[in-house]
Amino acid sequence: MPNLGLPEILLILMVALLIFGPRKLPELGKSIGQALREFRGHTSAASTELRGLVEAQPVGVQPATLEPVTVQPVTVQPAIPQPVQAASVKETEA
């Protein structure tokens, strides 16, 4: 991104003066300045917190590994019912 020189800044200020007028321009500058201050404050707080987290973790320490789990075999009963013995049926005469 190219740097802004004096002519470019003057052109931007002239356009802003034409768009917003002389009464709104100071309020606009004040609100932009306040927004930039808040943004810088939040970014510095976030970077400070991130640096603290990075420095708190010891260097060279490996994360804990999981131990293998032994599984005991289980016997499963079949879900198919046992065959039913056919009962003797007497035929009835009609």
The whole-number pLDDT of residue 20 equals: 86
**Residue 21 CA: distances (Å) to CA of 9, 12, 13, 34, 58:** 17, 13, 11, 20, 57
> What is the C-alpha separation between 34 and 31, in angstroms, rounded?
5
> What is the C-alpha separation between 17 and 19, in angstroms, rounded?
6
The whole-number pLDDT of residue 23 equals: 87
Nearest-CA neighbor of 29 among 14, 16, 43? 16
* Residue extents of the structural domains in the chain: 22-55
The whole-number pLDDT of residue 69 equals: 77
Q: Both tokens of residue 42?
A: 């939040």
8-67 residue pLDDT tens: 989 988 898 898 888 888 888 899 999 999 999 999 999 988 888 877 766 666 667 778
CA end-to-end span of the chain = 106
